[in-house]
Structure 1
Amino acid sequence: MTVLDTGSIAPDFTLPRDGGGDITLSALRGKPVVLYFYPKDDTSGCTQEAIEFSGLKPQFEALGATVIGMSPDAVKKHDKFKTKHDLKVDLVADEDRKIIEAYGLWVEKSMYGRKYMGVERTTFLIDASGKIARVWNKVKVSGHAAEVLEATRALKS
């Protein structure tokens, strides 16, 4: 399993995004990118995380940063999720999980004694050169977006 850490080059991707079109990570070089991975659209934790990042989008933009959420859900599901909760962040669909696996986040999880494979909620702050500046593993959602914003601010100083 790949373990990406601070200083690693973030694996590039081109994936379909909500609302149509694609997002290519390397096309965003020259400015910071917040790339957060989440398990599933429209579940409580994922919804809260997306709402918190959406609420702070103007502050991220003021720092020149792009915020991208990624899950294995289809684009159509992202579109519904985005509309339902008035989300402002970009959502990309990694349906075959190739990128999620490249980031080492398709892992065995356990709930109520049942084991299954799923996405480990993780956020990467990628600097302007495409290197990983910070990693948050096994994210606890509440207040997370604000913490990422502070780290993004520190990146700029």
Structure 2
Amino acid sequence: MLEIGSPAPDFTLPRDGGGEVTLSAQKPKKVVLYFYPKDDTSGCTKEAQGFTEAADAFAAAGAVVIGVSKDSVAKHDKFIAKYDLGVILASDEASDVCERYGAWVEKSMYGKKYMGIERCTYLIDGDGKISQIWRKVKVPGHVDAVLDAVKSLG
């Protein structure tokens, strides 16, 4: 399990619009790395829209926002086009990055157990260390809490 102060596991994933995104290439920017279950679902859409609305504030605070799910790049492109999203969306179809960040967990719905992505967010400082972790994220108010944390890093 990752902890505050530990190095954030590096990764390179395919991203929306083609190309790739590499965590270590973001230095010295801060990175808001958020994991979400599925494109174009209500909670995930609200979260992505919230990060998009605050994109300028995150950029002004020296941070880049990267969302990760198991959806394909093609689905990410449709999701971005449909809602005019302004965040990077990375595709982790093999769940490798989700597993390394502890976001791939056993879930339960109506008594049925299954594996899925837990909505969680990591704030990674300019040195590549984990500065803050939010688990089992509830969407309302989350973007503001993350932005406050980014600003507090200076």
State the TM-score bracket (shorter-chain normalisation).
over 0.9
- Distance, in Å, in 2 between the alignment partners of 1:23 and 1:99 is 12
Give the aligned residue type for 1:30.
Answer: P
Q: 5 Å matches for 1:57-136?
A: 57-136=55-134
Q: Secondary structure at the match of 2:138?
A: coil
- Distance, in Å, in 2 between the alignment partners of 1:84 and 1:111 is 28
* Alignment TM-score, normalising by the size of structure 1: 0.97
Q: 5 Å matches for 1:142-153?
A: 142-153=140-151
- The match for 2:25 is 27
- Distance, in Å, in 2 between the alignment partners of 1:108 and 1:64 is 34
Q: Quick check: 1:7 aligned with 2:9? A: no
- Distance, in Å, in 2 between the alignment partners of 1:142 and 1:104 is 22
Kindly state the Cα deviation for residue 107 of structure 1 after the two structures are TM-superposed.
0.6
Kindly state the Cα deviation for residue 7 of structure 1 after the two structures are TM-superposed.
0.3
Could you list the runs of 4 or more consecutive aligned residues of structure 1 that deviate by over 4 angstroms after TM superposition?
none
Kindly state the Cα deviation for residue 88 of structure 1 after the two structures are TM-superposed.
0.4
- The match for 1:139 is 137
Give the aligned residue type for 1:75.
Answer: V
- Distance, in Å, in 1 between the alignment partners of 2:103 and 2:11 is 15
Q: Secondary structure at the match of 1:92?
A: strand
- Distance, in Å, in 1 between the alignment partners of 2:103 and 2:128 is 19
Give the aligned residue type for 2:70.
Answer: P
Give the aligned residue type for 1:24.
Answer: T
- Distance, in Å, in 1 between the alignment partners of 2:118 and 2:26 is 24
Kindly state the Cα deviation for residue 106 of structure 1 after the two structures are TM-superposed.
0.8
- Distance, in Å, in 1 between the alignment partners of 2:17 and 2:143 is 23
Give the aligned residue type for 1:80.
Answer: K
Count how many residue pairs are aligned between Structure 1 and Structure 2.
154
- Distance, in Å, in 2 between the alignment partners of 1:109 and 1:8 is 26
Identity across the alignment (%): 62
Gaps of 5+ in 1: none
